[in-house]
Amino acid sequence: MWKTQRSTVKGYFLAGGQMVWWPVGASLFASNVGSGHFIGLAGSGAASGIAATAYEWNGMFAVLVLAWLFLPIYIAAGVTTMPEYLRKRFGGKRIQIFLAILYLFIYIFTKISVDMYAGALFIQQALHWDLYIAVVGLLAVTAVYTVAGGLAAVIYTDALQTLIMLIGALTLMVFSFLEVGGLEGLQAKYFDAIPSTRKENSSCGLPREDAFHIFRDAVNSDLPWPGVLVGMTIPSLWYWCTDQVIVQRSLAAKNLSHAKGGSLMTSYLKILPLFMMVMPGMISRILFPDLVACADAEICRNICGNPSGCSDIAYPKLVIELLPVGLRGLMMSVMIAALMSSLTSIFNSASTIFTMDLWKHFRPRCSEWELMIVGRVFVLLLTVVSILWIPLVQAGQGGQLFIYIQSISSYLQPPVAMVFILGCFWKRANEKGAFWGLVTGLVLGAIRLVLDFVYPEPQCGETDLRPGVVKYMHYLYFSMVLALITTVTVLVVSLLTEPPSQEKISRLTWFTRGDQPVKKDLALSPCPDAAKGVCEAERPALQIDISIASENSSDENKCTTKAKGSSKLMTTLLWLCGMERKRENAENAVPAKPEPLPMASSEEKPLVKHILNVNLLLCACAGIFLWAYFA
């Protein structure tokens, strides 16, 4: 927190661009694997076997695609948020604002509320607390250190929590495998894990026959294999290559080599969830078939309050029943660490998007001081909205939390992913094409999302009365169709309208990332009216200027001279929020020299580059082997 200039916008939102590879890798992993993963993956394992692992192993490749293909473009473009990249690439403001709002929605629906529900479910199972007391306590602590520390605090706590998370989860894995007699024991006993009360002559409560296969029947299974290979990859690319939470961590790296190293570390760690979460979930079903695998709606409601099924309690049950007292405490802290690391990541990224993309749009001349305050207040606002959303998550969950997250992702994310991919790798894509592609895709996705909520999946043994498009079209197939429609729209509209200008392509696509930067004199020209903020207005409205030099603008000096005589309480408060630099500036106001913008550099040393590329091959081979072995 001390060294990363958290009182500047760049320092608060991008950790001063000074992170080395291991905190970046640990932070990527911790931001991805929240408590929703522990609860959700173990629950899916208990309900249907190892197929949900496909999401994790898909991520193994996607995170490498980020470092080798997307990051060089983002670094060349010099951006802090993803909507900002689209504004530079396509121009206009509508795409940026449209996306900023969509991202905030996705965060609240699929990330914040789900993680909080999962963490609270865990605390509720373990301590028998009221769900809401648990949530409010967790959120309060999380919001405090996000508000105070900015991204650097978030990344270092993530690195620590990744370590705790791995130790705790691996310990539980060893205990649970010992309990059933290793992998052979798991494979033999899983198919006998049937609840004692269930409807005869139906498949309710029976384990799936293809429980140990990742590739399943293309028509009648819960995760069809073409959908796993293609339909799953598209939201996965959105998540790993264009999502603010993930990309922001990679942009905080010192240079491209450190970012690649971080991605490789994450990719290797993504091998673990099958053994750390999915298989323990299956073992939980073997040990507590009547609770975890309950097949009768009334019994399930009594056990966990969810008539659709109780597979989500698989992991908490294992922790509470299997581990000795001391380790139980460790595992509790692991779950809370997982929850908090995910939440802090999302809070920090959401406040970055709100401040940089929405607030700066409506107040283009606002001072850096104002941006810092708005970012912090927005975190507190998000906290409140998220608490209000929890009853809906509680009520609206189907049997499997993880599948809920994935299906919503398949409806909202493919259009965004395709627009980014075309923007980065096709120079002819223009603003009109991108905008209409996004709108078309998102309207279709929203319709399907609403249909899913209106016609929930029938419980086991009930007749299926859903309309055909919901009943027969798996959400992974829908993701493929959505991506195709978006791509065709972008291609057709772009080709029918005028091509983008040179400045919309230079340093903004894969093929032009090496272009020489265009020097603009406007931003650097001395401006007599700086005090009135006229200079600001001459710049493009959403220009995100993150230079440290801008701290000394005379507007802020006015604010600080008022604050000068204020109490020590105020000083402490300002220090806590990383605003202390302003006071010093006011007292010794020396004319600031413009400092170079701290930005991850894209230069790589030849030796380091070769080592990284060899590692890339090894990691890809390991991934392909795992897919083939468990397919």
Residues 237-249: pLDDT tens digits? 999 999 887 998 8
The structure tokens 């009520």 sit at 395
216 DSSP β-pair partners: 224
Q: Mean pLDDT throughout 190-194?
A: 90
Looking at residue 199, its pLDDT comes to 76
Q: Has residue 112 got a pLDDT over 70?
A: yes
Most confident of 155-159, 193-197, 230-234, 402-406: 230-234
Q: Has residue 64 got a pLDDT over 90?
A: yes
Q: Has residue 50 got a pLDDT over 50?
A: yes
Please, which pLDDT band fits residue 270 given cuts at 50, 70 and 90?
A: very high
Q: Has residue 433 got a pLDDT over 60?
A: yes
Please, which pLDDT band fits residue 580 given cuts at 50, 70 and 90?
A: low
- Residue that wins the pLDDT comparison between 581 and 524: 581
Please, which pLDDT band fits residue 130 given cuts at 50, 70 and 90?
A: confident
Indicate the SS3 state at residue 601. strand
Q: Mean pLDDT throughout 312-335?
A: 84
Q: Mean pLDDT throughout 25-41?
A: 84
Other beta carbons within 10 angstroms of residue 402's beta carbon come to 26
> In whole angstroms, what is the distance from residue 294 CA to residue 301 CA?
10
Q: What percent of the chain has pLDDT over 70?
A: 81
Predicted TM-score (pTM) above 0.85: no
Please, which pLDDT band fits residue 597 given cuts at 50, 70 and 90?
A: very low
Q: Mean pLDDT throughout 540-552?
A: 35
Q: Has residue 523 got a pLDDT over 60?
A: no
> In whole angstroms, what is the distance from residue 59 CA to residue 345 CA?
18
- Whether 369 and 4 have beta carbons less than 8 Å apart is answered as no
Q: Mean pLDDT throughout 358-386?
A: 86
Looking at residue 8, its pLDDT comes to 63
> In whole angstroms, what is the distance from residue 120 CA to residue 129 CA?
9
Please, which pLDDT band fits residue 204 given cuts at 50, 70 and 90?
A: confident
Q: Has residue 163 got a pLDDT over 80?
A: yes
Q: What DSSP string describes 378-397?
A: HHHHHHHHHHHHHHHHHHH-
H or E element in which residue 74 lies: helix 71-77
Looking at residue 543, its pLDDT comes to 34
Other beta carbons within 10 angstroms of residue 94's beta carbon come to 14
Looking at residue 206, its pLDDT comes to 87
Alpha helices in 252-367 (DSSP H): 256-269, 273, 279-287, 289-292, 297-304, 314-322, 325-353, 360-362
Amino acid at 369: W
Which residues, 6 or more positions from 279, have their beta carbon under 8 angstroms from its beta carbon?
45, 50, 173, 176, 177, 183, 186
Looking at residue 340, its pLDDT comes to 76
Q: Mean pLDDT throughout 429-443?
A: 94
Mean pLDDT of the chain: 80
Q: Mean pLDDT throughout 173-186?
A: 92
- Whether 444 and 485 have beta carbons less than 8 Å apart is answered as yes
Looking at residue 413, its pLDDT comes to 92
93 DSSP 8-state letter: S
The candidate with the shortest Cα–Cα distance to 394, out of 143, 140, 132, is: 132
Please, which pLDDT band fits residue 362 given cuts at 50, 70 and 90?
A: confident
- Residue that wins the pLDDT comparison between 281 and 544: 281
Q: Has residue 258 got a pLDDT over 80?
A: yes
Other beta carbons within 10 angstroms of residue 525's beta carbon come to 9
- Residue that wins the pLDDT comparison between 296 and 419: 419
Looking at residue 18, its pLDDT comes to 77
